[in-house]
Amino acid sequence: MDNYPRLFIKAGLMYALLGAALGVTIAVDPSLAVRLRFVHIHVNLLGFMTMMVAGVAFHVLPRFSARKLPWPAGMKYQFIFQNTGLLGMVTLHAVGGWQGGLAHAAFVFFAILAGIAFAIMFYNLYFVLSAPEETPKPEKITGEMKVAEVLDHFPQALSLFLESGFQSLANPAARQTFAKVVSIDKACEKHSVNTTEFVEKLNREIFKTNSPSDNENTNLGREISRGEKCQADTWVGSLVKAYPTTKKVFESHYGEGCFSCPGQAFETVEQTASMHNVDPELILKEINNEIDKESNPS
């Protein structure tokens, strides 16, 4: 975990302890509620909850969205402004007399600091969740490319990764998190796989579909788009993405657990039918019936 997300979480825990102490104090002496209620509320909300949310979000969201924070240095300024603003406001409110003169001006100044901290947090967290720009399908795979980038463009590559020892990619969560930030070079280094040989294998196996003669002798499958009918060599993952209702056809024949298989995305309709001893023509007929229903709802 990076330094500032850790600091936010630690500060949040300290504010939680302070908030609990204030709550007990008010319970023991209710006469203090008028002066301490503001302090108690802001220590818990602006201190504990906001600090914890910021710390966890700054650590998790960039990894799950595979995007860097738009302003990483903003975490430092948010931490300083949020703590300064909060402690300044609750101190002035606790000692009283903050509603007039210089004390009120100072209170407003600390409130503005806290507001700026919120604006920084909004900027970093909102835009880190923005969808990344779509990149064109690469014509060649290189070691510098992220693992997830290769899998997104070439779903059939997952089988090549698994065959070469990258067993962690069998877990969908790993493909949605670590694979988005780890390059092929780093993944090969971690799994003691020769990078040059593996990259050559990926390019050889994936791009041989560019040759019409190779297409006749391979069964790598094809993608499907809206408006098209399903064929025997259509990838199941592409089919379900284009026509979500077709998923129930597979579940009715294979069971609901069939989509837990890591190879589902790049298996063809014909392959899945053969593996489950189901007539491919029957599956195709039911799938295309669902496509007709989805394309032409009554």
The CA distance from 267 to 155, in Å, is 9
Provide the CA 9 distance to its chain's centre, in angstroms.
20
Work out the mean pLDDT of the chain and round it to a whole number. 86
pLDDT the model gives residue 211: 40
Residue 7 has pLDDT above 70, yes or no: yes
Q: What are phi and psi of 222, to 5 degrees?
A: -145, 160
295 Cβ contact partners less than 8 Å away, ≥ 6 residues apart? 226, 227
How far is the CA of 172 from the CAs of 191, 211, 260, 291, in angstroms?
18, 31, 9, 27
Task: Kindly report, residue by residue over 159-197, the tens digit of the pLDDT.
Answer: 889 889 888 888 877 787 778 888 999 999 999 999 999
203 against 48, higher pLDDT: 48
Give me 41's structure tokens: 């509320």
pLDDT the model gives residue 260: 54
Task: Kindly report, residue by residue over 247-256, the tens digit of the pLDDT.
Answer: 899 888 877 6
The CA distance from 116 to 111, in Å, is 9
The mean per-residue pLDDT over the stretch 56-73 comes to 86
pLDDT the model gives residue 213: 40
How far is the CA of 140 from the CAs of 136, 149, 187, 210, 215, in angstroms?
11, 12, 18, 12, 18
Could you tell me if 223 and 207 are in contact, meaning their C-beta atoms sit under 8 angstroms apart?
A: no
Burial class (CB in 10 A: 0-12, 13-18, 19+), 205: middle
50 Cβ contact partners less than 8 Å away, ≥ 6 residues apart? 12, 82, 118, 121
Q: Residue 294's pLDDT band (boundaries 50, 70, 90)? A: confident
How far is the CA of 231 from the CAs of 39, 247, 252, in angstroms?
66, 15, 19
Could you tell me if 99 and 92 are in contact, meaning their C-beta atoms sit under 8 angstroms apart?
A: no
pTM of this prediction?
0.51
Could you tell me if 8 and 79 are in contact, meaning their C-beta atoms sit under 8 angstroms apart?
A: yes
Domains and CATH numbers, the chain: 3-128 (no CATH), 147-217 (1.10.3910), 236-295 (no CATH)
Q: What are phi and psi of 183, to 5 degrees?
A: -80, 165
What is the signed CA dihedral for 235, 239, 240, 246, rounded to 10 degrees? Answer: -120
